[in-house]
Amino acid sequence: DETKNNYKRNFSTCYGKYNVYGAFIEKSIQLLRESGQLIFITPATFTFLDEFKKLRGFLARNGDTEIIYMGEEVFKPDAFVTSAILKFVKGKKYAHNLLLAELVDRQVILHKKITNWKGELITFKSAFTDAVKKTCNQRLSDIYEIRISPRTPEIKKNKHIVRDKTIIDENYIPILNGRNLKVNEISYEPLKEHWIPKAKINTLRGYFNKPHIVIALGFR
């Protein structure tokens, strides 16, 4: 809680379950001179998660933003993360410009340019998304509340979690992560070797003791 309060005091883009890489982006832009540029490889989550809406607004107001979506295959097997390249040019004269592109078969494909971006959610159009829109004009968030899973620091700080790969107790359940999510399947093997009592599962996320749908790799 104290770390989160420090973020809120020092970073204007801090909101919700903020991630430290957002603070790093904000600070780096503050240090740029007028017309200065930065290029980062980051997780792609800042493009669509609600907790980064202040960061997106900050980018829009302060310069020209270019995003190249890289997908989830770039760093495998060393890291399982959906990534993007963020290129930013600081300056009010560049403000509200957004260019979206995507890496496809080692080629950068331009999707669109926007000149009045204010930090809205970033999406990438494709033949598939166009077909989905024709079938249903509602987004998943129009129907369901979208929640995210606990992060590693939360798991480490939770006093109810035990780490013992040999534990066999029907009162405990394993903590799952992204590697447990397969196509049309959730594997309940304890890959992280972290366990928590069933009665305390809501200390990780309040919604865990309610029926919910698990979705993975929905970044596009």
Within the chain, where are the H helices? 2-10, 20-31, 53-62, 127-135, 140-143, 152-157
Question: Residue 126's pLDDT band (boundaries 50, 70, 90)?
Answer: low
Is pLDDT larger for residue 29 or for residue 76? 29
Give the model's pLDDT for residue 3: 59
Q: Residue 164: is its pLDDT beyond 80?
A: no
pLDDT tens for 33-46 read 999 999 999 999 99
Helix 53-62 and helix 20-31: axis angle, to 10°?
Answer: 10
Tell me the C-alpha distance between 3 and 145, whole Å: 27
Structural contact between residues 48 and 219, judged by C-beta atoms closer than 8 angstroms: yes
**Joined tokens for residue 35:** 């017309």
pTM of the entire predicted model: 0.64
Is pLDDT larger for residue 194 or for residue 57? 57
Q: Residue 133: is its pLDDT beyond 70?
A: yes
Give the model's pLDDT for residue 69: 93
